[in-house]
Every structure is written in structure tokens, then in C-alpha cells.
Amino acid sequence: MKRNRIFERDEFRCVYCGEQFAAEELTLDHIEPRLRGGDRSEGNLVSACMACNTLKGHRRLSDFLRESEVARASFFRHAVHVWPRILRTLRDELDAPSTERRQASNQPAGRPNR
């Protein structure tokens, strides 16, 4: 099952807090949410504990990581299997000025800002 492969790949570690958990205490998190065009590929999935996944909720990952230095450091340390294009986009979003972030978060996926 893909779920267990992801947990094993991530060493049963939540990529947001860095702690290790039993498989039943972990969830899969989509880096690019499916409703924003993300897929179910292994490069778009990471292990997350239930608490961190709840804290992140349906927000963009960049918004969640911007609010938590611990989650940000842990993510970039442990999410080594995420697709490089996703990591580049994430870094760009984290580095963007606040006005650009607001515009990007209000813009539907796949449509350029005007």
C-alpha cells in the first residue's frame, strides 16, 4: 500500500515537527493540495502526525511554514523526497513579499495574476 511506503520512506517521521510516530498515528499530507491541482504521486505526499496535519489544515503549505519556524526547518530537513519543482515553488512563495503572497493565495491555481 502506498501509504505505508510513504511512512517507511519518511522513517515514520512527521516532516513538520520532526518526531517519529507509529504508523497509526501518522497521516499522509499532500504538499500541493488536490483541490489546487496537486496529484497523488509520492513526490507530492509526506508523512505528518495528526496534530501537525490538523494545525496545517487546508492552508497553503507556505502559509503554515511561514507561521512556524520549527515546522519550516523540519520540513526542509526531512521532506527530501518531495518533487524539486514543488520545493522551488514553495521557496519562491516563502521568499515573496507579503503583497505578492496575498495575491497568490487568492488566485486560483493555473491562472496568472493580472
Give me the residue spans of the domains in the chain.
2-106
pLDDT digits (tens, 9 = 90+) for 3-12: 999 999 999 9
**SS3 assignment, position 11:** coil
pTM (two decimals) = 0.81
- Answer whether residue 86 shows pLDDT above 70: yes
Give the CA diameter of the chain: 46
Specify the CATH architecture of the domain 2-106: Orthogonal Bundle (1.10)
Residue 107, CB-side half-sphere exposure with 13 Å CA sphere: 12
